[in-house]
Amino acid sequence: MSNIYKQSFKQTQTNNIELSIYNCGLQRCEKGYSWGPGVRDHYLIHYVAAGKGTFVVNGVTYEVKSGDVFLAKPSQLICYTADQEDPWEYYWVGFNGSNANKLVLELPFAVDNPIHTCKNPDKVKDTLFSIFLSRGPENYSEALMVGYLYLFLAELMKENQRQENRSQTSSSAYVSSAIKFIQFNYSHEIAIDDIAKAVGISRSHLYRVFMSNVGESPIDYLTNYRINEACYLLRQGNLSIAEIATSVGFFDQFYFSRVFKKVKGVPPSKYLSSGKVGQP
């Protein structure tokens, strides 16, 4: 097939902890081309511009066609394969960050359906393609890419509003409320029981809805959010490690250092020189 191509861009470091682009690109696949089974550590959205294929999530197979978008979440076991007769051409963006899950919850994907057929496919495609067109290693390029990512997500949010007879599921509503509580209170000494009480559900129910919507437990989400905020403060360079620990809700510096190393692979004292600064 002579018109097969792939163009991609991978971000090597980022200054934006709230929303960070991992990669983006476009590809016209050969017949039967497949990725996976595998697991991503970030959110990944594909828009299918032509052709068709299948998307498998945790053992469930979905048929995907031109004009559809499909979403892969972190830690999900996925596989996607181009059709043998009409292989797809798609655009994609991979992203993560402390605000990523909150934004994804507003997109037109259900817990049990990671596929959406676009009502305004040209607009969705154009904003997604603009991310790729803005690629580059410069700081302004990163700002442009993240800006277009917000526009792309906004277009999908508009698609969500256009869907008739669809309301936010109760589970995603609980998760959204819990994440907002975390974002406003992570610097205090809060526990999972406090989050569950604020949302109005039991601790066990909170665990279940987090695992189904986010792919990680509430305590892991809270910990990762705190450590990512700590990374941001470390990059600013105007606070001591003890002050940073207190600022993100750890009141024992040594415990903070142990948790930080477990999450990031290096202690906070070596974070800036480790080469991991660009990793959200």
CATH of domain 174-270: 1.10.10.60
Q: What is the pLDDT of residue 126?
A: 96
Radius of gyration of the chain (CA): 20
Q: How far apart are the first and last CA of the chain?
A: 38
Lookup: tokens for 36:
């996976």
Q: Do 83 and 53 meet the contact criterion of CB atoms below 8 Å apart?
A: yes
pLDDT score at 273? 79
pLDDT score of 167: 44
Strand ranges in the chain using DSSP code E only, listed in sequence order? 5-10, 20-28, 34-39, 43-50, 52-57, 60-65, 68-72, 77-82, 89-96, 115-117
List every span in the chain annotated with CATH 1.10.10.60.
174-270
Location of structure tokens 């016209």: 28
> What CA dihedral angle connects 61, 101, 170 and 38, to 10 degrees?
20
Do the beta carbons of residue 14 and residue 58 sit within 8 Å? no
- Give me the tens of pLDDT residue by residue for the chain, a chain 280 residues long: 458 889 999 887 777 778 999 999 999 999 999 998 998 889 999 999 999 999 999 889 999 999 999 999 988 889 999 999 999 999 999 999 888 888 888 899 876 789 999 999 999 999 999 999 999 888 889 999 999 999 999 999 988 765 543 444 578 888 988 998 998 899 998 999 999 999 989 999 999 999 988 889 999 999 999 998 998 899 888 899 999 999 999 999 999 999 999 999 999 999 887 655 545 4
Edge-to-edge strands, sheet with 52-57? 34-39, 77-82, 52-57, 60-65
Q: Which among 70, 39, 38 is positioned nearest to 54, based on CA atoms? A: 70
Which of 205, 145, 147 shows the shortest CA–CA distance to 173? Answer: 205
Residue 2: per-residue pLDDT:
52
Cα–Cα distance, 30 to 201 (Å, whole number): 48
SS3 content of the chain, % helix, strand, coil (to 5): 40, 25, 35
Architecture of the 5-162 domain = Sandwich (2.60)
Q: 53 pairs with which residues across the strands?
A: 64, 82
Do the bridges between strand 115-117 and strand 68-72 make them parallel or antiparallel, or are there none, so unpaired?
A: antiparallel
Q: What are the residue ranges of CATH 2.60.120.280 in the chain?
A: 5-162
Provide the CB-side half-sphere exposure for 153 (13 A, CA).
24
Predicted local confidence at residue 1, as pLDDT: 42
52: tokens are 């068709």
Distance between CA atoms of residues 269 and 253, nearest Å? 12
Q: What is the DSSP letter of 75?
A: T
Tokens linked to 218: 């509430």
Q: What is the pLDDT of residue 258?
A: 95
